[in-house]
Amino acid sequence: MIWDKPEILRKIKQLHKQGKDLSYNALAAQMQPLVSAAAYHFGSYRKAVERAGVDYAEVARRPRWTKQAIIALIKEGKRKDEDLHWSAVTKRRDDLGKAAFAALQPRLFGSWDRALHAAGLDADEISRYRKWDKDLIVYELRSRYRDHEPMNSGSIQKDDPGLHAAAVRHFSSYDGALKAARLDPEKVRERKSWDKPTVLRGLRAAKREGKHLSDSSIRRDQPDMYGAAVRLFGSFTAARDAAGIKWKREKQGT
Residue 165: inside a domain: yes
Q: Give the whole-angstrom CA distance, residue 193 versus residue 126.
A: 25
Question: How many domains are there within the chain?
Answer: 4
Q: What is the mean pLDDT of residues 236-245?
A: 89
Helix (H) or strand (E) holding 188: helix 185-190
Q: Are 127 and 156 in contact (CB under 8 A)?
A: no
- Same domain, residue pair 54 and 13: yes
Residue 253: inside a domain: no
Residue 248: inside a domain: no
Residue 207: inside a domain: yes
Which are the contacts of 130, defined by CB distance < 8 A and separation ≥ 6?
A: 83, 84, 85, 88, 162
- Same domain, residue pair 209 and 236: yes
Which of residues 137 and 194 earns the better pLDDT score? 137
Q: Are 161 and 167 in contact (CB under 8 A)?
A: no
Residue 111: inside a domain: yes
- Same domain, residue pair 178 and 139: yes
Specify the pLDDT at position 254: 35
Residue 252: inside a domain: no
Q: What is the mean pLDDT of residues 30-49?
A: 89
- Same domain, residue pair 150 and 104: no
**Is the pLDDT reported for residue 94 higher than 50?**
yes
Residue 100: inside a domain: yes
Q: How many CA atoms lie within 13 A of 34 on its CB side?
A: 23
Mark which of 167, 190, 213 sits at the end of a domain.
190
Specify the pLDDT at position 63: 59
- Tell which residue, 181, 87, 97, 100, has the closest CA to residue 134: 181
Query: Which residue segment(s) compose the domain that 46 sits in?
Result: 5-61
Q: What is the mean pLDDT of residues 45-69?
A: 80
pTM: 0.38
One-letter identity of residue 250: E
